[in-house]
Structure 1
Amino acid sequence: MRTQIIQDYNGLPTGVFIPIEDWENIKKHYPNIENVDQELPQWQKDILDTRLADLNNPDKLEPIDELFKVLDEE
């Protein structure tokens, strides 16, 4: 993929140009990509906020090995 970064007069990136062939290929693999800019529903934001808060609380985190053991038991 040959992308081009578009910059403003200060040299700061403001956008990306993707050739149409590459864009069509991306859309084929990710059909909902054009909906990426839609606002998340509040219930999804709430879930993300809860998960982010848990990341900042080490007491709420468990090693992944524990999850694998539980899944193996089921």
Structure 2
Amino acid sequence: MKLQVLQDNFGNQTGVYVPMEDWTLIKNNYPDIENLEQDLLQWEKDLIDSRLEAIAINPERLKPIEGLLEELKRKI
């Protein structure tokens, strides 16, 4: 994949050029890619807010994912 990073006159990155052949391949592998900019539904926002609130109230319950992955491997 030959991506090109686009820059403005000040050298700030402003975009990426993706050749059509590569874009077609990406769309085939990720058919919903053009819908990624859609806003979250209210129930999704509420769920995220409630989980963040639970973490803020009880941060020691938050654990690294590696522990879960190791436990799952042991059960296989």
CA 1:49/1:10 → structure 2, altered by over 3 Å: closer, same or farther?
Answer: farther
Aligned residue pair count: 69
Per the alignment, residue 32 of structure 2 pairs with: 32
Gaps of 5+ in 2: none
CA 1:7/1:44 → structure 2, altered by over 3 Å: closer, same or farther?
Answer: same
For residue 64 of structure 1, the aligned residue among 51, 62, 68 is: 68
C-alpha contact 1:7 1:14 (8 A) present in aligned 2: yes
- TM normalised by structure 1 equals 0.71
Identity over aligned pairs, percent: 46
Aligned residue type for 2:44: Q
C-alpha contact 1:55 1:61 (8 A) present in aligned 2: no
CA 1:57/1:5 → structure 2, altered by over 3 Å: closer, same or farther?
Answer: farther
